């Protein structure tokens, strides 16, 4: 038994030594690895934050400057003594060309004649200015305002729609005609649909008569954009009214003047013939 115990003792000693060695090496490994991992974490590059930056472009600046110049050309106001240019091209209050003058000379003329300075063409080289009186500036502003109102507005023409039955009463038809005229005067197109009445006998041309009656309430204002045509298998008739163009308005006025002049010429001719007969 003693011999067996002595044989097992070295084995237990070696096992205990290995376990102790393993524990010591494990602690050392953990202690050495932790600082290394911390160092790697600290040295890793931090993610860069995304910052929104506007790209540099001269196109937008050029467009903004162009709009600003156009606005300045449209704007009609008194400049006063704040003349940014050294040399300008000047016109007097009568529109006479005074040539290129130094701004000091321009200010002297303003004081002598009690006039105001107004930009004409800021984009010219040198820029054009004009001396004007207060009433002249006021009249020019009114003229430009009227010109701006008369300028046609760009954009698609809107269409209004109106639907009613062919057995509509005269009073209701007059009300519809007034509504159509209001839309036409606002430059709208008006699509009118007349449904044929059911269980009633009507002339075939009744719907066309309704459209013509509506058109006769707007002489010199509206005309057909599309003539009346049957839709929905002949159960209704549809047409579109529009405002007269400027050329059509001019032609209408000339026709009216010609028609008004013919009775007067006939009347004058009859009077002359009566005088000759006497």
Q: Where in the chain is the domain with CATH 3.30.110.10?
A: 159-249
Least confident of 73-77, 127-131, 180-184, 215-219: 73-77
What is the fold of 159-249?
Translation Initiation Factor IF3 (3.30.110)
DSSP H helices in 54-156: 58-74, 103-113, 134-150
Spatial distance between the Cα atoms of 278 and 260, rounded to a whole number of angstroms: 28
Output the average pLDDT for the chain: 75
Residue 73: predicted pLDDT: 46
Mean pLDDT of 211-238: 91
Residue 138: predicted pLDDT: 87
Residue 161 has, within 13 A of its CA and on its CB side, a CA count of 3
In the predicted structure, residue 257 carries a pLDDT above the cut 90: no
Range among 15-29, 73-87, 221-235 rated most confident: 221-235
Confidence band, pLDDT 50/70/90 cuts, at residue 174: very high
Confidence (pTM)? 0.43
Mean pLDDT of 200-223: 88
Q: Which residues pair with 238 in a beta bridge?
A: 193, 229
For 120-168, what is each residue's pLDDT tens digit? Answer: 888 888 888 889 888 888 888 888 888 777 665 656 668 999 999 999 9
Residue 72: predicted pLDDT: 46
Strands 128-132 and 87-91: parallel
In the predicted structure, residue 59 carries a pLDDT above the cut 80: no
Higher per-residue pLDDT: 242 or 2: 242
Spatial distance between the Cα atoms of 250 and 253, rounded to a whole number of angstroms: 5
Q: Which two tokens stand for residue 199?
A: 């269980």
Confidence band, pLDDT 50/70/90 cuts, at residue 238: very high
For domain 76-148, give its CATH number from 3.10.20.80, 3.30.300.30, 1.10.287.1120, 3.10.20.600. 3.10.20.80
Residue 275: predicted pLDDT: 38
Mean pLDDT of 70-78: 55
- What is the residue whose two structure tokens read 């010219």? 124
Q: Where in the chain is the domain with CATH 3.10.20.80?
A: 76-148
| 122 contacts: CB under 8 Å, gap ≥ 6 | 69, 72, 73, 128
| 92 contacts: CB under 8 Å, gap ≥ 6 | 98, 130, 131
Spatial distance between the Cα atoms of 273 and 14, rounded to a whole number of angstroms: 158
Residue 154: predicted pLDDT: 59
Residue 165: predicted pLDDT: 92
Residue 25: predicted pLDDT: 52
Q: Omega of the bond prior to 230 within 30 degrees of 0, cis?
A: no
Per-residue exposure over 209-243, b if at least 16 CB sit within 10 Å of its own CB, e if not:
ebbeebbeebeeebeeeeebeeeeeeebbbbbbbb
* Inter-CA distances, 195 with 110, 167, 239, Å: 72, 9, 12
What percent of the chain lies above the pLDDT cut of 70?
Answer: 63
């Amino acid at each position: 038994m003693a011999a067996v115990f002595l044989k097992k003792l070295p084995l237990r000693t070696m096992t205990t030594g290995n376990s102790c060695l393993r524990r010591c090496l494990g602690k050392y490994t953990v202690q050495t690895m932790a600082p290394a991992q911390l160092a790697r974490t600290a040295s890793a590059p931090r993610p860069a934050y995304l910052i929104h930056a506007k790209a540099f472009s001269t196109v937008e600046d050029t467009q903004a400057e162009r709009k600003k110049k156009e606005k300045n050309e449209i704007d009609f106001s008194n400049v006063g003594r704040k003349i940014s240019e050294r040399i300008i091209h000047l016109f007097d209050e009568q529109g006479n060309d005074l040539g290129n003058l130094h701004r000091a000379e321009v200010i002297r003329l303003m004081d002598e004649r009690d006039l105001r300075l107004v930009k004409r063409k800021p984009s010219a080289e040198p820029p054009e200015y004009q001396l004007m009186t207060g009433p002249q500036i006021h009249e020019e502003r009114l003229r430009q305002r009227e010109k701006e109102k008369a300028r046609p507005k760009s954009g698609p023409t809107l269409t209004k729609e109106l639907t009613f039955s062919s057995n509509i009463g005269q009073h209701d038809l007059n009300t519809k005609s007034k509504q159509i005229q209001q839309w036409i005067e606002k430059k709208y197109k008006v699509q009118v649909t007349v449904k044929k009445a059911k269980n009633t006998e009507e002339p075939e041309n009744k719907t066309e008569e309704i459209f013509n009656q509506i058109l006769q309430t707007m002489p010199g204002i509206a005309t057909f954009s599309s003539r009346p045509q049957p839709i929905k298998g002949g159960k209704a008739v549809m047409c579109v009214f529009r405002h007269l163009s400027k050329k059509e308005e001019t032609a209408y006025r000339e026709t009216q003047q010609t028609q008004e002049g013919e009775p007067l010429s006939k009347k004058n001719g009859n009077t002359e013939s009566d005088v000759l007969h006497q």
